[in-house]
Amino acid sequence: MPLKIDKPDAEWRETLTPEQYRVTREKGTEPPFSGDYQVTDEHGIYHCVCCNAPLFENEHKFDAGCGWPSFDRPMTPSCVEEHFDTSHGMRRTEVTCARCSAHLGHVFPDGPRDTTGLRYCINSVALDFHAGE
């Protein structure tokens, strides 16, 4: 289990853009198809924009056509946490960073059947890509 990071709200506001703060700290969602990360063959790892924890490998990213980066699994089961979410009148599973509790997105059971069957639908503004890792 990663060491937890718990910063005062003012510190998060100092280090994040307004959109990053809204999504990761206030459980927001970026508009679909607005993100920066396309599916590529480039090797690398997506890190949490808040605490730099490694979360997802580019090799496990796929085009779900939903408008957000989608992965079939996190790097390790312990790098993310899942929480039952009933916001917006829906029943979903929220995904947060295990280290700093940043809201990342949601996980759904409609991913690729030839792998995990899961689709981690993640806000690109919550991620920072490190190429070559």
The verdict on whether residue 48 carries a ligand-binding annotation is: yes
The CA radius of gyration of the chain, in Å to the nearest whole number, is 14
Nearest to 97 by CA among 25, 17, 41: 25
Q: CB–CB of 105/120 below 8 Å? A: yes
Q: CB–CB of 96/2 below 8 Å? A: no
Nearest to 107 by CA among 117, 97, 96, 93: 93
The verdict on whether residue 97 carries a ligand-binding annotation is: yes
Q: Assess whether 121 carries a catalytic annotation.
A: yes
Q: Count CB atoms within 10 A of the CB of residue 79.
A: 18
Which of the residues 50, 66, 79, 121 is marked catalytic?
A: 121
**Structural element, H or E, at residue 55:** strand 54-57
The verdict on whether residue 79 carries a ligand-binding annotation is: no
Q: Which residues are annotated as a binding site for Zn(2+)?
A: 48, 51, 97, 100
Q: Would you please indicate which residues are annotated as catalytic (active-site) residues?
A: 121
Q: Which residues are annotated as a binding site?
A: 48, 51, 97, 100
